[in-house]
Amino acid sequence: MFESAELGHSIDDDCYKKEVPALREALLDVQFDLAESKAFPVLILIGGVDGAGKGETANLLNEWMDPRLIHTCAFGPATEDEAERPPMWRFWRELPPKGKIGIFFGSWYTAPIVENLKNGKLYKKLDSHINDIVRFERMLTDEGALVIKLWFHLSKKQQKTRIAELEANPKTRWRVTEQDKQHLKHYDEFRTLTGRILRETSTANAPWLVIEGFDPNYRSLTTGKYLLEAIRNRLDSKVPPPRKAAAPALTLMAADGLNVLNALDLGKSLDKNEYEEQLEEYQGKLNLLTRHKKFKELSVIMAFEGVDAAGKGGAIRRVTRAMDARTYSVVPISAPSDEESAQPYLWRFWRQLPRRGRVTIFDRTWYGRVLVERVEGFCSTQDWMRAYAEINDFEEQLVNHDIVLVKFWLHIDKDEQLARFKTRENTAFKRYKITDEDWRNREKWDDYQRAVCDMIDRTSTEQTPWTLVESNDKKYARIKILKTICDQLEHKLNSLK
Amino acid sequence: MFESAELGHSIDDDCYKKEVPALREALLDVQFDLAESKAFPVLILIGGVDGAGKGETANLLNEWMDPRLIHTCAFGPATEDEAERPPMWRFWRELPPKGKIGIFFGSWYTAPIVENLKNGKLYKKLDSHINDIVRFERMLTDEGALVIKLWFHLSKKQQKTRIAELEANPKTRWRVTEQDKQHLKHYDEFRTLTGRILRETSTANAPWLVIEGFDPNYRSLTTGKYLLEAIRNRLDSKVPPPRKAAAPALTLMAADGLNVLNALDLGKSLDKNEYEEQLEEYQGKLNLLTRHKKFKELSVIMAFEGVDAAGKGGAIRRVTRAMDARTYSVVPISAPSDEESAQPYLWRFWRQLPRRGRVTIFDRTWYGRVLVERVEGFCSTQDWMRAYAEINDFEEQLVNHDIVLVKFWLHIDKDEQLARFKTRENTAFKRYKITDEDWRNREKWDDYQRAVCDMIDRTSTEQTPWTLVESNDKKYARIKILKTICDQLEHKLNSLK
């Protein structure tokens, strides 16, 4: 991995000075074209050996280009806000929007490197960690991001020399820390480990570029030219390449016509007395659970999806009624804001993740990607096809961070929907609930059903199963939802004891 | 203040049950009209005596209305992220956008009450604290927010009874804390203090409504009806009233034609050698200052305004070049995003405030309100007239939180601007910098000059003075800027020792 970066590259000052002005001009041009087009975000990850010029390079890029369009982030120890969310949350919230450049130091590569060096062979998670990174970066590039990964390298001898030089100069001595000296001691170990990580995370869509960092002229010119070419090529190609590739649609309509939705017994119901008794029981139980002493150690996300008019709103109100209003927040999902549109589609959900001891209820969710966006053609086949895996990855991170995720699909049949639409049209205070769009969606009933079946098959995991809710009878549906939430929450709380 | 709320109000169950359904329907209606119109945000502050039904009321509103359109916030002790910003930051970031309802518990009224009760007569800041609140709420309502302040009251006897009741019931015992009992002991003190605060913060635009909290029926109906009426009235009035009022424009053109801008000696310049020597000196100094051991105890905001083509970008690059790219962030201000447009105009700046040890550089700033928005008529006269005081309040909060704020106006004369515009048009890599808008703005040169003079007069305070930068010579300008930053930063760092 590092062979070419230990050759002792260098460029003399005259040559450097001759090349820089044109390079800077071209970099500024490409940066403004990018900003104007708002075509995609550029994310530059910077990593490497101590003393190889990581910080200098970030400074240089800010100097050569327009710093107003660059967002440079250094990630240190997690703040309180960060620690209360899954580890990737801090990176999600700093992602550059389309048209801008983000420079990340200490990105998602820091944790696996540090953990490994600390625990040595005892650390068993490296493979799965690498796998997570590859999948995450794949999602970013599929979403259109240009991900540029720069690794600044020094041979062992060069690093020794560099540290000695810095220490000798009073102006730079502050930059050499005790940690740097420790790192030098473990150089070989570090080289082996990072060599492996770089190799295994160098993918076609997000390859690493290893740059020898000893000679500043060489380092700077190489970096600048690479960036220029990468951004310019991508701008010239207009359409992000991953979106172009065709993929076959899923075809899941079973020959016997049976599917997970029409197999539901929609005749299930509760009478008024049973309903009221159980409503009180489970609302009371939910209330107690949210006041459990261990509740502050976890967070809860409730995801509501369902057929139009299946009763999501009413069900959510029965749930919120059981909780203190200071505990929960209900997030209705409709068209994204312009800040949200400039980011990967999961970004708007990441930004709403609850703190510890809090509940976020999503009324419609990230599954819009494989439902409405698929059926209405708002994204390409390629896009929604990959979304299943992206969503599974997302939810896995939630669950791993002690977030209880409960997902509901509220189902009614076509006749029941028609009856409810008509009631809505005929009742003054319900009329706002029915729009032309609802009638249009109804015409695509079969397409939606097919999308739902695919979704349930592909995103029900052991840890994050879908709960299908027979909702022709609202009372039955509400109780099933409350009971499911109580069961899952109780189960989690018991597991914490 | 509390007289009417100690009368023993109550409403019997029959009457309550008869009234509630229509009230709920009307509340839902008004809520959806609000959401659809996106006309203004509704901010409900909830305060009052322990046990008077604050939490119950928030829950009830979430139950009666659509919780998807309500954002309920409880503010406890500051998190790390919050503590690193001025005290009002946490409230700014939770402000509801237009069309939504926000419910705040433990709002900006908590601090003055707690501080007073803790320190008694030793606390001398109550008056200024009240004044700050009145001004802040005035800004919110001027920006179009409907601010509803509900205070739930109990007489001393009622509070005693309520706490005893709660304690007697095993289901509610958890809600009585040691603090509640302490508070009961200090009831009279609390009543006197809050009576004064409520009286002095009950303004025409944001009055307090005191509601007797003992009888839940009375409390709930009164609250619901008040909210309904307040939101409905405001929706019906269409145009937010404060914006309607006319105000005389400032007229500041002096009879002798002299003003702070044309009094500047734009002939000031530096030769190349002086420039390069001083550039190195001050960049080095700035670099050292940002690595000062006390630098982590403060934050820095640099605000750049100036005539088009005065050289803001170039000056900013000379500043950033002196710092580690991980330390600063450059925020260019152009048209607001839709999330920003749904908030008071200062919101987009609050969200960018730097953490401790960080620098935010604004390329154009909140002064757009009194410059471009004034001159182009993007806001009403009333709006930009009040902005001077609002901006002064904003900046005072920054400075009080140990944020070093440095403000620059870069000035060139009309001939110099013309020359630079032409150069930009004739130089390939500068052409992106000149647009039709620049030429249009140039036609309004005099209007802009007048706006700048007003701005400088009205927003130069002892703590946050404007630095006017003679910029016909770019070298002179850049050095003056760097030197000013160094001076102000050094001064602040010394004051911390």
Give pLDDT tens digits for B176-226.
777 778 878 888 888 888 888 888 888 878 888 889 899 999 999 999 999
Q: How far apart are CA B471 and CA B305, in angstroms?
A: 12
Q: Is the pLDDT of residue B249 over 70?
A: no
More confident residue, B157 or A204: B157
Q: How far apart are CA A436 and CA A125, in angstroms?
A: 51
The CA distance from B26 to the nearest CA of chain A, in Å, is: 8
> What distance in Å separates the CA atoms of residue A301 and residue A303, rounded to the nearest whole number?
6
Residue B428: per-residue pLDDT: 66
- Apex CA B306: angle with CA B303 and CA B310, to 5°? 125
If we measure between CA atoms, which residue out of B316, B322, B295, B239 comes closest to residue B477?
Answer: B316
Q: Which residues of B touch A25 (CB under 8 A)?
A: 429
Single-letter code of the amino acid located at A317: R
Residue B283 pLDDT > 90? yes
Q: Each residue of A361-384: pLDDT tens digit? A: 999 999 999 999 999 988 888 888
Whether B423 and B480 have beta carbons less than 8 Å apart is answered as no
Distance CA A483, CA A353 (A): 23
For B272-496, CATH number out of 3.40.50.720, 1.10.1660.10, 3.40.50.300, 3.30.70.580 equals 3.40.50.300
Length of chain B: 497
Q: pLDDT tens across B360-406, in order?
A: 999 999 999 999 999 998 888 888 888 988 999 899 999 999 999 99
Across B23-95, where does the E strand assignment appear?
Answer: 42-48, 70-74
Cβ–Cβ contact B229 with A under 8 A: no
Most confident of A68-72, A165-169, B244-248, B255-259: A68-72
Read off the pLDDT band of B72 (50, 70, 90): very high
What tens digit of pLDDT does each residue of B428-450 get? 666 677 888 888 888 999 999 98
Q: Does B432 touch chain A (CB under 8 A)?
A: yes
Chain B nearest CA to A106, separation (Å): 11
Q: Sheet with A42-48: list strands edge to edge.
A: A70-74, A101-105, A42-48, A146-153, A208-212
Distance from CA of B263 to the nearest CA of A (A): 32
- Angle between helix axes B216-236 and B13-37 (nearest 10 degrees) is 30
Size of interface A-B (CB pairs under 8 A): 119
pLDDT for the residue B167: 84
Cα(B222)–Cα(A281) distance, rounded to whole angstroms?
30
Residue at B306: amino acid letter: G
- Mean pLDDT computed over every residue of chain B: 89
Q: Does A320 touch chain B (CB under 8 A)?
A: yes
Q: Is the pLDDT of residue B339 over 80?
A: yes
Full DSSP string of A196-233? HHHHHH--SSS-EEEEE-SSHHHHHHHHHHHHHHHHHH
Q: How confident is the model at residue B246 (pLDDT cuts 50, 70, 90)?
A: very low
Percent of chain B with pLDDT over 90: 58
In this predicted structure, what is the pLDDT of residue B247?
A: 41
Chain B CB within 8 Å of residue A377 CB? no
Residue A338 near chain B (CB below 8 Å): yes
Q: What is the mean pLDDT of residues B291-306?
A: 96
As a whole number of angstroms, the distance between CA B11 and CA A344 comes to 53
Contacts of B257 (CB under 8 A, 6+ apart): none
Our measurement of the distance from residue B458's CA atom to the centroid of its chain's CA atoms, rounded to an integer in Å, reads: 18
CB contacts of A328 in chain B (<8 Å) are: 67, 72
Here the tokens at position B253 are 């053109």
Inspect the interface and report whether the beta carbons of A28 and B429 lie closer than 8 Å: yes
3-class secondary structure, B153: strand
Residue B315, chain A, CB below 8 Å: the answer is no
pLDDT value for A245: 38
What is the nearest CA distance from B364 to chain A, expressed in angstroms? 11
Rounded to a whole number, what is the distance in Å from the CA of A120 to chain B's nearest CA?
30
ipTM of predicted assembly, 2 dp: 0.73
- CB-based contact A432 B63, cutoff 8 Å: no
Full DSSP string of B208-255: EEEEE-SSHHHHHHHHHHHHHHHHHHHHHT-S-HHHHS--PPP----T
pLDDT class for B492, splitting at 50, 70, 90? very high
**Cα separation values, A391 from A226, A365, A388, B200, B325, Å:** 33, 11, 5, 52, 34
Q: How far is A121 from chain B (nearest CA, A)?
A: 33
- Chain A: closest CA distance from residue B122 (Å): 33
pLDDT computed for residue A451 by the predictor: 92
Sequence letter at residue B483 = K
pLDDT in tens, B313-330: 999 999 999 999 889 999
Write b or e for each residue in A214-253: b if 16 or more Cβ atoms lie within 10 A of its Cβ, otherwise e.
bbebbbbbbbbeebbebbbebeeeeebebeeeeeeebeee
Of chain B residues 11-30, which have a CB less than 8 A from chain A? Answer: 25, 28-29
- Check A55 against B325: CB less than 8 A apart: yes
Cβ of A61 within 8 Å of Cβ of B325? The answer is: yes
Q: What Cα–Cα distance (Å) separates residue A23 from each residue in A20, A101, A239?
A: 5, 17, 25
- DSSP state for residue A77 in the 8-state scheme: S
Q: Which residues of A touch B361 (CB under 8 A)?
A: 67
Nearest CA in chain A to B75: A326
Q: Do B291 and A174 touch (CB under 8 A)?
A: yes
For residue A324, give the nearest of B55, B337, B363 by CB distance.
B55
Q: Does A32 touch chain B (CB under 8 A)?
A: yes
Architecture of domain B3-244: 3-Layer(aba) Sandwich (3.40)
Position A206 scores a pLDDT of 87
- Residues in chain A predicted with pLDDT less than 50, given as ranges, are 241-248
Structure tokens at A252: 């899941």
Question: What's the CA gap between B384 and B243, in Å, rounded?
Answer: 11
Task: Judge whether B190 and B117 are in contact, CB under 8 Å.
Answer: yes
Interface probe for B, chosen from A24, A68, A94 (most Cβ of B below 10 Å), is A68
A107, A84, A359: which is closest to B80 by C-alpha?
A: A84
Give A248's contacts (C-beta < 8 A, 6+ positions apart): A381
Q: How far is CA B169 from each of CA B160, B172, B257, B344, rounded to the nearest angstrom?
A: 15, 5, 78, 45
Whole-number Å distance between alpha carbons of A477 and A141: 40
Contact status, residue B403 vs residue B353, Cβ threshold 8 Å: yes
Q: Given a cut of 70, is residue B244 above it in pLDDT?
A: no
Query: Range(s) for CATH 3.40.50.300 in chain B?
Result: 3-244, 272-496
